[in-house]
Amino acid sequence: MPAVSLSDQIVRVLREAQRVVVLTGAGVSAESGVPSFRDKQTGLWEKFDAAELATPSAFHRDPALVWGWYEWRRMLVLRAEPNPAHRAIAVMAEHVPRLTLITQNVDDLHERAGSRQLLHLHGELARPYCESCRQPYGLPVGIPQLPAHGTRIQPPRCAACGGRVRPGVVWFGESLPDREWLAAVEATQHCDLFLSVGTSSLVQPAAGLMHMATRAAAVTVQINPNPTDVDHLFAYAVRGRAGAVLAALVSQTWNLPYAN
């Protein structure tokens, strides 16, 4: 039996929900070995300076440093596997009439666990594109050698126009992709359950979605092993790791075998 105690009310709300929004952050991939951003000691922004790696001006100043860093992160993800949290969300989508998965993550672990049509608010590591003509760049297939972080790698050139290829992620100071953001807002404004999993809720505008859910009278649930600045804003703040909590939630809601 799962060693996670969940409120019966969360289970009941999920079982009866027609429209569910799941918003995920880096914590959902932490159990796959993909580092988050702000966890003490292991978080990327604890070790690296975001201003030197995750802004348009950083890329223009030192494209090889930035491209090398994103290649290092892309390789980490290629070597990682989806964990029980990714799998539980994919199973949940099979049982809920309408589930919208919104992620701030740039990895593809939700897709590899079977989730379809998710909204990537912050772009994707696997989809670099030309900064001049925006043509997608086809990455070589296979898993190349993992570059050490700090390795400078010159970004490739666009086959169509010769422009410089950039990572397919949203950087600080850039707007979120319109289609994804509008779809995320629309789903949140009409959901009856909003599940926030593995995010510090510190980065806007994604963090604002939970306020929209509250205004829409949705039941709001946060899953996180650590306290966040917004614990008090959720109807339920479940303290635990995403893998164990989501696996327990899915198994208890639909009487499925516990698949952690």
Contact 244, 4 (CB under 8 A): yes
- Candidate residues 13, 14, 30, 221; the one interacting with ligand OAD per rule CB under 6 A: 30
Q: Which residue is nearest to ligand OAD (CB)?
A: 27
- Candidate residues 32, 196, 224, 251; the one interacting with ligand OAD per rule CB under 6 A: 224
Residue 32 interacts with ligand OAD (CB under 6 A)?
no
Three-state DSSP state, 98: strand
Distance (Å, whole) CA 64 – CA 107: 21
Beta strand 129-130 with 165-166 is: antiparallel
Residue 25 interacts with ligand OAD (CB under 6 A)?
yes
The one-letter amino acid code at 200 reads S
Distance (Å, whole) CA 172 – CA 222: 25
Which residue, 146 or 169, has its beta carbon nearer to ligand OAD? 169
Tokens of 74: 């892309």
- Candidate residues 32, 100, 104, 251; the one interacting with ligand OAD per rule CB under 6 A: 104
Residue 114 interacts with ligand OAD (CB under 6 A)?
no
Catalytic residue among 122, 149, 190, 232: 122
Residues present in the chain in total: 260
Tokens of 113: 């666990």
- Candidate residues 92, 188, 198, 247; the one interacting with ligand OAD per rule CB under 6 A: 198
Under rule CB under 6 A, which residues in 122-141 are in contact with ligand OAD? 122
- Candidate residues 78, 129, 225, 237; the one interacting with ligand OAD per rule CB under 6 A: 225
Residue 76: CB atoms within 10 A of its CB come to 18
Residue 37 interacts with ligand OAD (CB under 6 A)?
yes
